[in-house]
Amino acid sequence: MTVVLVGLGLLLLALLGAPLFAVIAAVALLGFHGQELDLSIVMIEFYRLADMPVLVAIPLFTVAGFLLAESQAPRRLVRLSDALLGWMPGGLAIVAILTCALFTAFTGASGVTIVAIGAILLPAMLQAGYPRLFALGLLTTCGSLGLLLAPALPLILYAVVAQHAGGAAVGVDDMFRAGLLPALLMILMLGAYAVWQGRRLPPRPPREAKGWQEVRAALLDVAWELPLPVIVLGGIYAGWFAASEAAAVTAAYTLILTVVIRREVNLRALPGVLRESMVLVGAILLIFGVSLAFTNYLVDAEVPARVFAFIREHVDSKLAFLMLLNLFLLLMGMCLDIFSATVILVPLLLPIAEGYGIDATHLGVIFLANMELGYFTPPIGMTLFIAAYRFNVPIWTLVRACVPFFLILFAAVLIITYVPSLSLALVR
C-alpha cells in the first residue's frame, strides 16, 4: 500500500516537471532503503561513469555537434543535398534518415546522433520547407535508427551475452547479417513516408545554377566539412580509429574548422558554446548515472527474474508470448538503457524464448528492434528528453510529432517479430 502511494507520488512529481534525475534517484534510494542496504551504493554506481571508456566519445561528439550547428554547416548541407536529391520529393528527409542511421550504427543510440546531427538537420529541414512537426518527429525517431546496422555495439553485446546465456551459437557476424534486412525495412518504411510528405512541400524556387554545375559548386562549398564524415565513417569502418578516437579527431577538427578556418564561431562566443554543450552532457550523464543505480537496484532485487517467472507461468502459446514480449520490451526499452537491458534481460529471456521455439538470432533482432522503438516511446523514452532539450521544444510537442513515426516503426517491429525469415534469410 505504502509502496503504491509513494510510487504514485513520484509519478505525479515527474509529471509535474520535477527534474528527472531526482525522480530516478529517489526510486533507487527508496529501493535500496527497502532492501536495508547502504544508500551510498547509489553513488558507487554513479561513479561507474568514470569507468566506461565508451563514454569519452559523448562530450567530444557533443562539442563537435554544437560547434557545427553554430556554424553555417547546416546551410551548406542543405545546399548539397538539394543539388543531389533536390529533384526527388522528400530528398532531404531521406538524407537525414540515412545519415542518422549510419551515425547511430557506430555511436550507439546514446543520444549522440540527435545532439550532433539532429541539431544540424533541423534548421536545414525547416529551411527546406518541411512542416516543423514532421521534421522534429523524423529527427527524434532517427536518434535510435541504425541500432540494427553493423557494427552497432548493441548487436555485438547481444551476441556475447546470448552465447553465454543460452549456449545457443549466436555469432557476432550472425547478428550483423541478421540486422541488415530489418534495418533496411525500417529505413524504407520511414523513407516512403518521407517521400509521401515531400510531395506536399511547396514548389522550390528555381535555382540559378542547375544540374552538375550546382552539384560541383555545392561540393566546393562544403569542401572543408567533407572530411568529417570521412573521419567518422571511414575512420571507424576502415579501422583507423577507435570510436573514442574518432570522436577526439572530430572534435579537434571541428574546433579548428569553425573557429580558425571558417571563423563562423568567434572566439568571444566560443566559451558560451562549449558551456552550452557541457550543460547538455551534464544533464544526460546525470540521468545516466542515477539510472545505473536504478538498474542495479532492479538487479539486486531480482525484479526481471520475477517478471519472467510470472510470464512462464501464465503464457502458453508462441503468438501470445511474442505479443507480450513486444509490450514488455517496449516498456523496458523505455525505462532502461540498451546496455543494461541487454545484460540483464537477455540471459533471462533466451531460455524462455527458446522454450517457445524462437530462434536465438531472431530473438536478438526482435529485442534490439523493440529497444530502438523504446527510445522514443512516450512518456519517458530517453531520446524524447534529449531531443526536447537539444531542439528547444516542449516534450509534449515532440510526443505529438513522434506519433506517426512511432506507428510506422511499430508496424516494422511487428513485421520483424512475426516474419522470422526477414532476420534469418541472410544468416543461414
Partner 1 sequence: KIATLAPEGTAWMREMRAAGEAIQTRTEGRVELKFYPGGVMGNDATVLRKLRVGQLQGGAFTGSELSPLYTDAMIYGVPFLFRSQDEVDAVRKVMDPVIVRGLADKGLVVAGIAGGGFAYLMSRQPIRGRDDLVAAKAWLPQGDVISSVTYEMAGVQPVPLSIADVYTSLQTGLVDTVANTPAGALAFQWHTRVRHMVDMPIAYLIGIVALDKRTFDRLDAADQAVIHEEIQAGIVRLDAQTQRDNIAARDALRGEGIEFFEPNAEEQAYWQSIGERSAQALVEQGTLGAENFRMMMAELERVRGGASDAR
Partner 2 sequence: MSVARKNAWAGALHRLEDGVLALAVFALVLLATASIVLRTGFDTGLPWLDPLLRMLVLWLAMLGAMAAAREGRHIGLDIAARWLPALAARVVRMLTYGFAAAISAILAWQALRMVRDEYEIGGIAFASVPSWLAQAILPFGLAVIALRLAAAAFRAPTPPADGIPGH
The answer to whether 274 contacts partner 2 (rule: CB under 8 A) is yes
Which residues ranging from 371 to 410 are in contact with partner 1 (CB under 8 A)?
Answer: none
Cβ(159)–Cβ(172) below 8 Å: yes
The answer to whether 153 contacts partner 1 (rule: CB under 8 A) is yes
Binding test (CB under 8 A) with partner 1, winner from 28, 41, 92, 336 = 41
Binding test (CB under 5 A) with Na ion, winner from 80, 125, 185, 336 = 336
Which residues ranging from 283 to 312 are in contact with Na ion (CB under 5 A)?
Answer: 291, 295
Q: What angle do CA 46, 389, 89 make, to 5 degrees?
A: 130
If the CB atoms of residues 64 and 187 are measured against partner 1, the closer one turns out to be 64
| DSSP state for residue 54 in the 8-state scheme | G
Binding test (CB under 8 A) with partner 2, winner from 31, 63, 187, 372 = 63
Which residues ranging from 311 to 350 are in contact with partner 1 (CB under 8 A)?
Answer: 343-344, 347
Residue 25 contacts which entry, partner 2, partner 1, Na ion, none (Cβ below 5-8 A, type-dependent) = partner 2
Cα 160 from Cα 151, distance rounded (Å): 14
The answer to whether 133 contacts partner 2 (rule: CB under 8 A) is no
Cα 353 from Cα 103, distance rounded (Å): 31
Binding test (CB under 8 A) with partner 2, winner from 241, 308, 356, 410 = 241
The answer to whether 8 contacts partner 2 (rule: CB under 8 A) is no
**What single letter denotes the amino acid at residue 201?**
L
Q: What angle do CA 281, 116, 42 make, to 5 degrees?
A: 25
For 129, counting Cβ atoms within 10 Å of its Cβ (0-12 exposed, 13-18 middle, 19+ buried), the class is: middle
The answer to whether 377 contacts Na ion (rule: CB under 5 A) is no
Residue 184 CB neighbour total at 10 angstroms: 15
The answer to whether 189 contacts partner 1 (rule: CB under 8 A) is no
Binding test (CB under 8 A) with partner 1, winner from 34, 167, 211, 272 = 167
DSSP-H helix ranges across 336-394: 338-355, 360-374, 382-391
3-state secondary structure of 322: helix
The answer to whether 369 contacts partner 2 (rule: CB under 8 A) is no
Contacts of 232 (CB under 8 A, 6+ apart): 103, 106, 246, 250
Which residues ranging from 13 to 32 are in contact with partner 2 (CB under 8 A)?
Answer: 13-22, 25-26, 29
If the CB atoms of residues 127 and 397 are measured against partner 2, the closer one turns out to be 397
Q: Quickly count helices (H) and strands (E) in the chain.
A: 23, 0
Cβ(250)–Cβ(116) below 8 Å: no
The answer to whether 103 contacts partner 2 (rule: CB under 8 A) is no
Which residues ranging from 197 to 256 are in contact with partner 1 (CB under 8 A)?
Answer: 236, 239, 241-245
HSE at residue 400, side-chain half, CA atoms within 13 A, is 6
HSE at residue 342, side-chain half, CA atoms within 13 A, is 24
Binding test (CB under 8 A) with partner 1, winner from 30, 172, 189, 315 = 172
φ/ψ bin of 173: left (φ > 0), alpha (ψ from -120 to 50), beta (otherwise)? alpha
Stretch that binds partner 2, among 45-53, 85-93, 174-182, 192-200 (CB under 8 A): 45-53
| DSSP state for residue 203 in the 8-state scheme | P
The answer to whether 196 contacts partner 2 (rule: CB under 8 A) is no
Binding test (CB under 8 A) with partner 2, winner from 39, 169, 261, 327 = 39
Cα 122 from Cα 218, distance rounded (Å): 19
* Whether residue 154 has a cis bond before it, omega within 30° of 0: no
**Contact set with partner 2 (CB under 8 A):** 13-22, 25-26, 29, 39-40, 42-44, 46-47, 49-53, 55-56, 58-60, 63, 241, 244-245, 247-249, 251-252, 255, 270-272, 274-275, 277-287, 289-290, 379, 385-386, 388-389, 392-397
Interacting residues toward partner 1 by CB under 8 A: 32, 37-38, 40-41, 44-45, 47-48, 51-54, 151, 153, 156-157, 159-161, 163-167, 171-172, 236, 239, 241-245, 296, 299-300, 343-344, 347
